């Protein structure tokens, strides 16, 4: 098997790597955006709960969360069906962790918006919920874009942990080549992960900075 064949073999795991990365990012988005606004605009008990979620999920390594759900929760008969699926477990675990990170990204973006805008929106007759939806969220997305790009890049890299559970992603494909070549497969995988993360994160960072200047944020 020559270098080209090895590279093509590793690329066979690319769809799985992208699927885990994108789905876990979307799950993190669904979790993180509401939590950020709950942390900012609700009462103290809810803020404490969100803060606890963020601290726990950001403090525990991703691989520990995956193994906990796969071997721990997956061993409970009621939850065996979903969590004995390695792809689902890896995506779910990364999504939970991403939710904690994205919550902080969005909360930082919310703090970057002048408080007067919420006051003005309320004085014009909008409810707090309407002000959040029509005034705060659009600006929050713009400010949060660079951070979200970095979070997606982190998820692409962290998706490589899924091969521990048996998911056939790029990392697993590279590891399967180890008996034939102990060096090239890992260098190739590293290069492919860089290609998947660095250009996108750099572009979104530049786009976000440009947008913020245009909007005067």
Q: Which of 200, 192, 197 is nearest to 13 (CA)?
A: 192
pLDDT of residue 69: 94
- 125 φ, ψ (degrees, to nearest 5): 105, 0
Stretch 22-48: mean pLDDT, rounded? 92
Residue 209 pLDDT exceeds 80: no
Q: What is the pLDDT of residues 146-185, one digit of tens each?
A: 889 889 999 999 999 999 999 999 999 999 999 888 899 9
Measured in residues, the chain has a length of 217
Stretch 50-69: mean pLDDT, rounded? 93
Lowest pLDDT segment from 61-70, 130-139, 188-197: 130-139
Residue identified by tokens 């997305």 is 141
Q: What is the pLDDT of residues 117-155, one digit of tens each?
A: 777 777 877 887 888 888 888 888 888 888 898 899 999
Q: What is the DSSP string of 12-55?
A: TTHHHHHHHHHHHHHHHHHHHHHHHHHHHHS-HHHHHHHHHHHH
| Band of pLDDT at residue 97, cut at 50, 70 and 90 | very high
pLDDT of residue 162: 95
pLDDT of residue 215: 60
Q: What is the DSSP string of 45-99?
A: HHHHHHHHHHHHHHHS-HHHHHHIIIIIGGGSGGGHHHHTSHHHHHHHHHHHHHH
Residue 211 pLDDT exceeds 80: no
Assign a CATH topology to domain 18-168.
MetI-like fold (1.10.3720)
pLDDT of residue 77: 84
pLDDT of residue 105: 94
The domain limits of the chain are 18-168
| Band of pLDDT at residue 216, cut at 50, 70 and 90 | low
In whole angstroms, what is the distance from residue 51 CA to residue 46 CA?
Answer: 9
In whole angstroms, what is the distance from residue 13 CA to residue 3 CA?
Answer: 16
């Amino acid at each position: 098997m020559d270098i080209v064949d090895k590279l093509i073999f590793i690329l066979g795991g690319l769809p799985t790597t992208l699927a885990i990365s994108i789905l876990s990012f979307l799950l993190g988005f669904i979790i993180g955006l509401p939590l950020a606004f709950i942390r900012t605009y609700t009462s103290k008990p809810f803020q404490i709960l969100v803060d606890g979620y963020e601290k726990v999920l950001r403090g525990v390594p991703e691989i520990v969360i995956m193994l906990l759900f796969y071997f721990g929760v997956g061993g409970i008969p009621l939850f065996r069906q979903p969590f004995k699926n390695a792809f689902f477990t890896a995506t779910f675990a990364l999504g939970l962790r991403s939710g904690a990170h994205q919550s902080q990204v969005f909360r930082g973006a919310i703090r970057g918006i002048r408080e007067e805008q919420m006051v003005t929106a309320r004085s014009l007759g909008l409810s707090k919920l309407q002000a959040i939806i029509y005034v705060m969220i659009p600006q929050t997305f713009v400010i949060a874009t660079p951070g979200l790009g970095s979070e997606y890049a982190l998820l692409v890299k962290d998706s490589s942990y899924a091969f521990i559970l048996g998911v056939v992603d790029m990392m697993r494909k590279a590891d399967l080549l180890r008996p034939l070549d102990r060096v090239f497969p890992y260098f190739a995988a590293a290069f492919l992960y860089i290609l998947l993360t660095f250009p996108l994160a750099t572009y979104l960072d530049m786009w976000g900075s440009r947008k913020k200047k245009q909007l005067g944020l």
